[in-house]
Every structure is written in C-alpha cells, then in structure tokens.
Amino acid sequence: MRWSVDGRRPTTYTRIYTALMWARRDKRAFEGAAHTLKVARRQQAKGDAPPTRWTRLSRRVRERDLAGMRAWVVSPRRVRPRARVLYLHGGGYVHPLTADYWRLVRALSADGAPAPAEVVVPAYPLAPDATIDEVLPRLLDAHRSLTASTPELPVVVMGDSAGGALTLVLAAALRDHGDHPHPAGLVLLSPWLDGTLDEDEVVDLEASDPMLAESGLRAAARWAGERDPADPLVSPVNGRLEGLAPIDVLVGAHDILRPAVDRLADLAHRDGARLQVHEVPAMFHVWMTRAIPEARRTRRQLAALVATRTSEPGGARGVRSRPPGRRPGGTGGSPPPV
C-alpha cells in the first residue's frame, strides 16, 4: 500500500474558481434529500450531456447500445487505441452525465497520450428508479461484451464519486463470478466508498466541501433498494479487496467522502490488496473534470496511469479466476441476479 501527497498550494485561478463555487452555492444540488431528488429529476428529464462539439471534432465518437444501456465510445482520431477505459460516471447515483466529463475523456483518448485509449461511457440507469441489483448485471454484461469483442485491448475500469464505488463493486463481482476477464487496473476518483456516511469526520468536512452535503447524499440510499446501505454492494469499503487488480485512488481533502479512504487503506492492508492513494489536499470533489490548472495536471497523470496499468504483466489480457471457497456476491453481500 502506498500513499503519496501532492502538497502544492492551489493556483490563484483555482482559488478564485473555488470561491465562485461557494458564491454560486453549487452544493445546493445536494442539500436535503427531497431537494436533491427534485433537482435530480429535473436533470434526468434533460438527459445525459452527449459528447461536446470539441470532443466530436477532435476524437472519433460513436454511440452504441451496450447491455441495454446507451453508451458513447470515444477513440483517438489518428492512432489505434492501445487500451480501453470503461468509465462509470458519478452524480450520487441520481444525476446524469454532465459536459465536464468529456474533458477527462479527451485526455484519456488523445493521440499523444502515453497509451491512447478507447473510452466507453455508459449511461447506466439511475436512482430512484433503478437499484444496484438492477444495474450491476448490466455492467457485468457490458464488461463481458467489451472484452469479448476486442480481447487484445486491456481494460481499466475508472469512475468518480458514485461511479468510483461502482468501479470497485464491479471489479469484485467480476472476481467472484469467475467467468469474466479481470480488468488491468481500477481507478477511483473521489470515490463514495461508504454509502452510510457514518464516519465522524464527515460532518466536520462539510464546512470545507464546496460541492457535497451529507443530507442530500442520503437521498441516494434508494440506490440500495432492499439492501442495507452498509451492504458491500453499496458501501464497498465494507467488502473484500483480495484478488482485485491494482487500485488507484485520487482524492482531495475538501471532500466529505475523504474519510472512507482511510478505511479503504486499512482494508487493503488486511486483504493484501495493491492500493495506491494519490492525495491532493488542496482539491475538492472530482476536481479532475474541471477547467482548472490542477485538473489538467491530474488528467495527464491519469492518462499516464492507464499506460502504466495496461503495460504491467497480466495487463494485456484478462485473467479468469475465482478465489477458492468464495461465493459470488460483489464485495461480500448477497449476489444480484445475473
């Protein structure tokens, strides 16, 4: 287990940007369970933000059906992809894709990236209409379809916030079902690892988080369906990490989801998992999608990380296995129907 800290102070631009986030009260979208669902319903009615005009001009973009989900596939324009990234977006399980995500997708799929990637972005069903038990089988089918179509492309599963939790849940389900190739790497960006938000530090951090509020995130408990929010399929920090691909976590200190990363580190130590935490104390929740200098630096780091994970032994192709004596079931809960 490794933990690196980037202690650089935020740029002047980013300090102004963050001040404007507070002035606009960006976190209102997650203040109060009822208000959060009301805002989410409005956003869901508008639909997912498709690839931006610049993304379509600078990359190859196509739309496809993937396990019954609308998905966008973004590839380098002039070179052949050397990796594939399955990207699971965040939004508290209730918000659809926003335009900010396409900045990160462009960085990963650039012709000049260390390992130019084909990035697949599914628009998975959202709460309160969908639950983890309905969505996880689709993601398993999506991963199966992608690896079967071009098995020579190593896959990194990456996700932010709620999508970061889904990344870990999906990887554990792939491990436990045994008949799926494993990803080459797992990248969790400001992940929501504990759906209960039970850490004592969460309340203290809320005053410094310009994006998230505890009361609103609890609205996403509907994602659990009939499960307890502490179930490992909703709170993967309560699950098992043994047998998973290398896990990289990027997190800032101004984020109410930050405390659960400490627990993930303890879990990795217990299970002998390969975990590296990249902490940037000056940053806020999912900063790497924003138009700020620190985000551009992090996007370059993520592109390099994809190259590293897909070039490691075993990264060029999936490994099929099941830990002896383990039954299927995500990160430790009872399994969803597949």
DSSP codes of every residue in 290-312: SSSHHHHHHHHHHHHHHHHHHHS
d(CA 187, CA 158): 5
Q: Give the residue extent of every domain in the chain.
A: 2-311
Residue with tokens 């999936």: 318
Q: Return the closest-CA partner of residue 49 out of 89, 92, 9.
A: 89
- DSSP state, residue 237: G
Q: Pairing state of beta strands 275-284 and 69-75?
A: unpaired
Per-residue pLDDT of the chain (338 residues; tens, 9 = 90+): 899 999 999 999 999 999 999 999 999 888 888 888 899 999 999 999 999 999 999 999 999 999 999 999 999 999 999 999 999 999 999 999 999 999 999 999 999 999 999 999 999 999 999 999 999 999 999 999 999 999 999 999 999 999 999 999 999 999 998 877 899 999 999 999 999 988 888 988 999 999 999 888 876 668 999 999 999 999 999 999 999 999 999 999 999 999 999 999 999 999 999 999 999 999 999 999 999 999 999 999 999 999 999 998 765 444 443 333 333 334 444 444 43
State how far the Cα of 51 lies from the Cα of 301, in Å rounded to an integer: 22
Give ∠ CA 182-232-285 in degrees, rounded to 5.
85
**Regarding the domain with residue range 2-311, which homologous superfamily does it belong to in the CATH classification?**
Alpha/Beta hydrolase fold, catalytic domain (3.40.50.1820)
pLDDT digits (tens, 9 = 90+) for 217-227: 876 668 999 99
Q: What is the pTM of this model?
A: 0.92
